Amino acid sequence: MHPEQIKAALRMKGISPTALASEMRVANSSVSQVISGRAVSARIRQRIAEITGMPVDMLWPPVNERHALHSTRPEGADARIARGAP
C-alpha cells in the first residue's frame, strides 16, 4: 500500500503518525520510516495493522507483490522482449 494510503487509514481511525509515535514511545522518524517502507519494525507494523483493521501483508505487501502493484511498464512488445519471448 502506498504510504499516503497508510497515513490516510490512520487518520480515518483518528490517529496521526505523530500520535502513534508518542503512544508507542518511539521517534516520529521511526514511524515515518516504517510507513514509507524504508525501515521494518514488526512492533510498529503490527500496531498500525491493529489500528487500521488491515493485515500487515496488505499494508506492506511482500517485495515481489509490491513490484507488481506499482509496475507501470505496459505489457507489449518491449515486455515480451525483456522476457526473451519473440
Q: Which pLDDT score, from 0 to 100, does residue 15 have?
A: 97
The DSSP-derived string for 7-37 is HHHHHHTT--HHHHHHHHT--HHHHHHHHHT
Identify which has the larger pLDDT, 78 or 55: 55
Domains and CATH numbers, the chain: 3-59 (1.10.260.40)
Buried (b) or exposed (e) across 43-58, using 16+ Cβ within 10 A? ebbebbbebbeeeeee
Q: Which pLDDT score, from 0 to 100, does residue 18 have?
A: 96
Could you tell me the three cell numbers for 75? Answer: 505489457
pTM of this structure: 0.71
Q: Per residue in 11-54, pLDDT tens?
A: 999 999 999 999 999 999 999 999 999 999 999 999 999 999 99
